[in-house]
């Protein structure tokens, strides 16, 4: 980062953007700390970032840098600041597709891992490596996956202790008898608290709001991530009620 500033590259790009020669500026990083510094320049429109459940839960390799919370904060910041994320390494180099190689010791599927990536705040696109037509066909097949096939909540069985209790927006706890979109509502809540001004607006546009929760406990019993959602609904109702 210091090299970028000292060499004048950042100033040069800034000038090109001002002239309209450069329309959008992006960067790629594996490191949340470096990514935060680049976001601080307020020059960036997009970020390529290595992201998958192993990296996010501190069970990856040398490219999975940063704590659970640092990585989460970075994605929320990107969403709040309108910086689109393009995901690298969604399958952890293929390791997550194999029970022998996966750090979780169980296999996840392409539809599950794509859905996981797309559910992260700020993510607009996912770029798996494609070695040939066979890989491409496997990815295209994922387009027809059912919601059950895309459900990645099995990851909840491999959480580090400090990640228990955080909603990952997987929607495994649906349906709610009151029609609350639990995962989506939690995403808007987290984003709004992180400074995303549009998130509160999105929340208000939901058909059913957190006040509708009757604390039946169905979602609590279904959540593999240990989220006490019936309590959280009261918190969400209070938060948006006070805005
Ligand atoms: S409460 Fe649990 S099951 Fe429901 S969306 Fe959040 S993480 Fe998934
Ligand atoms: S506790 Fe609330 S949010 Fe959860 S299923 Fe019951 S009514 Fe829906």
- Model confidence at 127, pLDDT cuts 50, 70, 90, reads very high
pLDDT attached to residue 103: 95
Ligand 1 atom closest to 229 (CA): 1
Nearest-atom number in ligand 2 for the CA of 175 is 5
Nearest ligand 1 atom to the CA of 171 is: 5
In angstroms, rounded to a whole number, what is the distance separating the alpha carbons of residues 135 and 114? 14
The pLDDT value given to residue 242: 66
- pTM, two decimal places: 0.91
b vs e for 203-228, b when ≥16 Cβ sit within 10 Å of the residue's Cβ?
beeeeebbeebeeeebbbebbbbebe
Q: Which ligand is nearest to the CA of 119?
A: 1
Tell me yes or no: is domain 1-151 CATH 3.40.50.970: no
Closest ligand to 186 CA? 1
Query: What confidence score (pLDDT) does residue 178 get?
Result: 97
Q: What is the pLDDT of residues 37-62, one digit of tens each?
A: 999 999 999 999 999 999 999 999 99
Beta strand 46-50 pairing with 84-88? parallel
Distance CA 89, CA 238 (A): 38
pLDDT at position 1? 72
What does the pLDDT look like over 157-204, one tens digit per residue?
A: 999 899 999 999 999 999 999 999 999 999 999 999 988 889 999 999
Q: Can you tell me the distance from the alpha carbon of 80 to that of 197, in angstroms, rounded to the nearest whole number?
A: 7
The conformation of residue 23, written as its DSSP 8-state character, comes to -
pLDDT for res 8: 87
pLDDT confidence band for 243 (50 / 70 / 90): low
Ligand 1 pocket member 189 (CB < 6 A):
no
Q: In which residue are the tokens 């999975």 written? A: 64
For the chain, what are the domain ranges? 1-151, 165-243
Positive or negative, the CA dihedral 196, 197, 198, 199 is: positive
> Structure tokens of 144?
């027809």
């Amino acid at each position: 980062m210091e090299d970028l500033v000292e060499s004048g590259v950042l100033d040069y790009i800034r000038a090109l953007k001002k002239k309209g020669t450069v329309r959008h500026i992006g960067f790629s990083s594996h490191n949340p700390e470096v990514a935060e510094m680049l976001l601080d320049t307020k020059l960036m429109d997009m970020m390529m970032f290595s992201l998958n459940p192993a990296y996010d839960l501190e069970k990856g390799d040398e490219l999975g840098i940063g704590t659970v919370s640092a990585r989460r904060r970075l994605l929320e910041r990107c969403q709040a600041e309108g910086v689109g994320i393009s995901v690298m390494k969604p399958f952890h180099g293929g390791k997550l597709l194999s029970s022998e190689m996966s750090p979780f010791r169980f296999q996840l599927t392409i539809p599950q891992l794509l859905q996981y990536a797309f559910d992260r705040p700020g993510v607009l696109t996912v770029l798996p490596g494609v070695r040939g037509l066979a890989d491409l066909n496997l990815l295209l097949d994922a387009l027809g996956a059912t919601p059950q096939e895309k459900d990645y909540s099995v990851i909840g069985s491999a959480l580090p202790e400090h990640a228990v209790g955080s909603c990952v927006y997987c929607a495994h706890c649906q349906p709610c008898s009151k029609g609350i979109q639990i995962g989506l509502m939690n995403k808007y809540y987290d984003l709004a608290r992180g400074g995303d001004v549009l998130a509160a607006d999105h929340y208000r546009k939901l058909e059913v709001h957190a006040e509708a929760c009757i604390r039946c406990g169905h979602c609590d019993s279904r959540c593999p991530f240990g989220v006490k959602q019936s309590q959280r609904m009261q918190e969400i109702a209070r938060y948006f009620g006070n805005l």
